[in-house]
Amino acid sequence: MACPVLKSIHIRNLRGVRECLITDLADVNVLIGRNGAGKSTVLEALYIASHWANGRDSIRELDKVEYVLTRRCGRGRWRNLRDALWFEKVFEREIEIVLQFNSGAGLRFKLLHDYPPLYREEEHVWLEVTPDIVPEVATFGRLYFNLLRGDFLNPITKSYEGRVPPIARDRLLSRFGNEIEFLRDVILIDGGLSVQDVESRVWPKLFDWRLDELAANMVREEYEPEARDFIYKPLKDGPYVLALRLPRTTLELDALGDGARMAVLISSALALVKSTAALIEDPEVHQHPGGLATLTRFVMRMAKERKLQLFITTHSVEFVGIAKKVCEDLGLRLKAFFMERDPSGMVDVRSLESFDVEVLQRLGLDPRLLHVL
């Protein structure tokens, strides 16, 4: 069966967003808009929803929801930082993330501020279950199901349902098996992705699968034309670190220029996953236009070859133009979404077809400034 892809995402009560709906998603989805429009919140919402299928980030070895919190609130535990996730800190409103897939499956995820006493902190995300899905359990109305815990929760009484029939859980997992696999490996690539994370958890797998040459080819294309390959280099009285072999020296990944280092981190993470969603925040950071073009081509090729649905935030019109051309060459469907958030937290999303972006660029107008037109 073909890998499912997302067709829409609907967010309520998350961070500064009271409500946001994005429909008709494509292979490559580029989110543009002013600072504070909610672009990063869309990435975080998808990442939070994926926690239901797999609570641990495969690169950072952290709880996904807690990583979203620490991105903006600093290190800490869910119980201490969770308030920051709720829109206007109105905790009675559940945070809701609704994903619609091309398979016809719709998954409605909830984050609850208060949980029953038996709740364990790593079990943040719940799926709303209706009677038509598990009639053996939800005979009286909706329930919430936590895949990691394997329990159903009554949202009215906030108590766990005892003796859940195995057939109910099995039917649910069977019905959404493909969607669960899609969500399991969702990856978030942002400025918090560190060299140490990639060295210790990504590159051992890339070497095993001989995918290291993909990143080396990208580096040769733009950043270091004479680069040979990547190796693990021993440090004096220290650990092994990832390094790039050049004709006359070997440079640790940390010693590369900012643009090359970020390109290696992004490309490494993408080469690790397949048949899922990759969430990339501002790939243009630290990139010269030539480097941005090379990185963009690599990202889109990975999307094509590894069946990745991309969600990318950007403030770079150059990136939009490059991505448009590369997607046309590769046969990928690209859509740009201009986002604007009003004072009440409602996010207006305007879909820009590729032709519209091209016309704006020819007129010398910046799609990021549509709010002043």
Q: Give the C-alpha separation, 243 to 241, whole Å.
A: 6
DSSP 235-254: PTTS-EEEEEE-SS-EEEGG
Percentage of the chain lying above the pLDDT 90 cut: 47
Pairing label, strands 240-245, 230-234? antiparallel
**pLDDT range class, residue 282, cuts 50, 70, 90:** very high
The pLDDT of 1-12, averaged and rounded, is 89
Give the residue among 199, 178, 117, 180 at the shortest CA–CA distance from 153.
117
Residue 298: inside a domain, yes or no? no
pLDDT at residue 88, as a whole number = 92
Q: Is residue 238 pLDDT above 80, yes or no?
A: no
The answer to which of 41-45, 201-205, 287-291, 339-343 has the lowest mean pLDDT is: 287-291
Q: Is residue 370 pLDDT above 80, yes or no?
A: no
Q: Is residue 115 pLDDT above 80, yes or no?
A: no
The pLDDT of 276-282, averaged and rounded, is 96
Please name the residues in contact with 92: beta carbons below 8 A apart, sequence gap of 6 or more.
113
Q: Give the C-alpha separation, 322 to 302, whole Å.
A: 15
Q: Give the C-alpha separation, 26 to 316, whole Å.
A: 19
* Predicted TM-score of the model (pTM): 0.92
Residue 101: inside a domain, yes or no? yes
Total domains in the chain come to 1
Give the residue among 298, 232, 223 at the shortest CA–CA distance from 260.
223
pLDDT at residue 116, as a whole number = 61
Residue 66: inside a domain, yes or no? yes
Give the residue among 166, 25, 161 at the shortest CA–CA distance from 98.
25
Mean pLDDT score across all residues of the chain: 87
Domain residues for the domain of 141 are 6-25+41-184
Residue 48: inside a domain, yes or no? yes
**pLDDT range class, residue 310, cuts 50, 70, 90:** very high
Residue 121: inside a domain, yes or no? yes
Cβ pair 311, 281 in contact under 8 A = no
pLDDT tens digits along 327-358? 999 999 999 999 999 999 999 999 886 656 66
Cβ pair 229, 306 in contact under 8 A = no
pLDDT at residue 165, as a whole number = 75
Residue 14: inside a domain, yes or no? yes
Give the residue among 9, 1, 2 at the shortest CA–CA distance from 279.
9
Half-sphere exposure of 233 (CA within 13 A, CB side): 16
Q: Is residue 364 pLDDT above 60, yes or no?
A: no
Residue 161: inside a domain, yes or no? yes
pLDDT at residue 1, as a whole number = 53
Beta bridge partners, 143, equal 129
pLDDT at residue 367, as a whole number = 62
The answer to which of 30-44, 137-151, 221-235, 269-283 has the lowest mean pLDDT is: 137-151
User: 214 versus 122: which is more confidently predicted?
Assistant: 214
pLDDT at residue 288, as a whole number = 85
Residue 206: inside a domain, yes or no? no
pLDDT tens digits along 154-182? 887 777 776 667 788 888 888 899 999 99
Q: How many CB atoms lie within 10 A of CB 7?
A: 18
Take residue 46 and report the two structure tokens written for it.
């998808």
Task: Give burial (CB, 10 Å; 0-12/13-18/19+) of 342.
Answer: exposed
pLDDT tens digits along 15-70? 999 999 999 999 999 999 888 999 999 999 999 999 999 988 888 888 899 899 88
Angle formed by the axes of helices 64-73 and 39-50, nearest 10°: 150
Q: Give start and end residues of each alpha helix (H) in the chain.
A: 39-50, 64-73, 78-81, 166-175, 177-184, 195-197, 203-208, 212-222, 258-272, 289-305, 317-330, 354-362
pLDDT at residue 128, as a whole number = 92
**pLDDT range class, residue 366, cuts 50, 70, 90:** low
